[in-house]
Amino acid sequence: MRKPLVAGNWKMNGMRASLIELAGMARAYPAALRAKVDLVVCPPVTLLFPAVASALGSGIAIGAQDCHAKTSGAHTGDLSAAMLFDAGANAVIVGHSERRADHAETDADVKAKAAAVIAEGMTAIVCVGETRAEREAGKALAVVSAQVRASLPEGAKASNVVIAYEPVWAIGTGLTPTIQDIAEMHADIRATLGREIGKDQAAQMRILYGGSVKPQNAKEILDLADVDGALVGGASLKAVDFMAIAEAAG
């Protein structure tokens, strides 16, 4: 019912020479795998247009890592969703914990950015997740449910929004929650979505897991009922690792 999605977030990594990895991903993404798993790669914005050109015809979508909520104006250094779409983006990550922490982005900011993304006809990958202190205090489910409710834009539906659950303490650390914790969180997110956008849309919306996803642990995580793919950080920088995760999703 829900086609898995594996999304690569290159973060602040990559030069033009890095596009050789994208070419490797394209070679390892035959029609049979395309039919089973969707792929999107989100390079730094300096590589957005050349990545689009490199991925042309491969079936790999290219996305961006952030956008401004406004369509244009006096916002030096910022990029609007319209600009990213014009450069060839199909999706935009919003609300990543690194943006929430490093740039003090609130749920309201994330909601506004997500709205801007879907207004341009792109997919908003809305990130949510708890800190280690929040999990140890037994607040993880409540914290993430509140983030989902406050970050969903008006008009959110399965065709234009993907939720990415990334426990903040697991990103880039090599740590992951237990399989039971991941299953519980994803089920709770889907229940929250059901209350917010209706059970039919919630049943169709993809919920990704992120946080130290690698080829060695991907299969066990991706086999969970409410895990519909992965948001991959470091492992998305190498074609062999990223495509191993894609194979596990298929």
* pLDDT digits 0-9 by tens, 69-105: 999 999 999 999 999 999 999 999 999 999 999 999 9
Residue numbers of the domain that contains 88 = 5-249
Q: Which residues contact 9 (CB under 8 A, 6 or more apart)?
A: 42, 65, 93, 96, 210, 231, 232, 233, 236
Active site residues: 96, 166
Could you report the per-residue pLDDT of 118-134, keeping only the tens digit for each? 999 999 999 999 999 99
**CATH number of domain containing 54:** 3.20.20.70
Taking alpha carbons only, the member of 131, 90, 124 closest to residue 109 is 124
Q: In the structure encoding, which two tokens stand for residue 199, read together?
A: 């059970």
Q: CA 189 from chain center: how many Å?
A: 15
Phi and psi at residue 120, to the nearest 5°: -90, 5
Total domains in the fold of the chain: 1
- The Cα 247–Cα 243 span in angstroms is 6
- The Cα 67–Cα 114 span in angstroms is 9
Site of tokens 């600009």: 83
Ordered mean pLDDT values, 10 residues apiece, the chain (250 residues): 96 98 98 98 98 97 98 97 98 97 97 98 98 94 98 97 95 86 97 97 98 94 97 97 97
Strand pairing partners for 170?
Answer: none
